[in-house]
Amino acid sequence: MDSETGSDPKSDPTSDPKADPKADPPPSESPPGDEDGGETTPSTPDGEAIGRTRDAAIARVEEELAGLRAALAACRAALDQAERRHEIELALLRADALDMETARVMTEALVAQSPTPDVARAVEDLRRRKPFLFRAKRPTAGMGAGVAGGAGGMGVGMGSEANAAARGDRGALLRFLRARRV
């Protein structure tokens, strides 16, 4: 019997650790570093709740990571598409395309069909197959006598005819065009 309380310590429920549900549980008998990845949790309801909360947090972070990876992949695809479009437009500008939108769409289709996406080759192929989309290449040599000559690219004696053609005189316009054709 306990001298202070006057009760038997074996029959007192507050002194028995097995009878007190709030008492610290005995240490876990599983070896450290088991299936949790090195962390051991007590097998009490509080420990299980902490484990479930941690697992839920891990699952939530993994879902967020998967979403971020998908967003990154979409951004990379959009960036690649924008860079390809810029490259195509630059090549078409250098090739003197008249209708930029039509030429760009057709070039994109050619690049998409090609096993090796070469924009310069696709633009040259498009220029060969659809020359009306591009400005005609001007001859660099062999200019006619009517074209090479006086001021403003006009031949000798063409100044008055060009002026008359600009004023709306049909006969002067025909003479001017015939003289340039030579």
Residues 129-144: pLDDT tens digits? 999 989 887 665 555 5
Q: Could you tell me how far CA 153 lies from the centroid of its own chain?
A: 49
| In a domain? residue 113 | yes
What pTM value is reported for the model?
Answer: 0.46
pLDDT score for 114: 86
| In a domain? residue 93 | yes
CA–CA distance, 70 with 79 (Å, rounded to integer): 14
| In a domain? residue 160 | no
pLDDT score for 141: 54
| In a domain? residue 73 | yes
Task: Count the domains in the chain.
Answer: 1
Tens digit of pLDDT for each residue in 30-85?
A: 444 445 555 554 556 677 888 889 999 999 999 999 999 999 999 999 999 999 99
List the beta bridge partners of residue 161. Answer: none
| In a domain? residue 98 | yes
Q: Quick one: which of 79, 82, 100 has its CA closest to 91?
A: 100
Assign residue 157 a region (left: φ > 0; alpha: ψ between -120 and 50; beta: otherwise). left
| In a domain? residue 79 | yes
Residues 6 or more apart whose Cβ sits within 8 Å of residue 158: 146, 149, 150, 176, 179, 180
| In a domain? residue 164 | no
| In a domain? residue 49 | yes
User: Which of 18-22, 133-137, 143-147, 148-152 has maximum average pLDDT?
Assistant: 133-137
pLDDT score for 179: 81
The parent domain of residue 77 ranges over 45-133
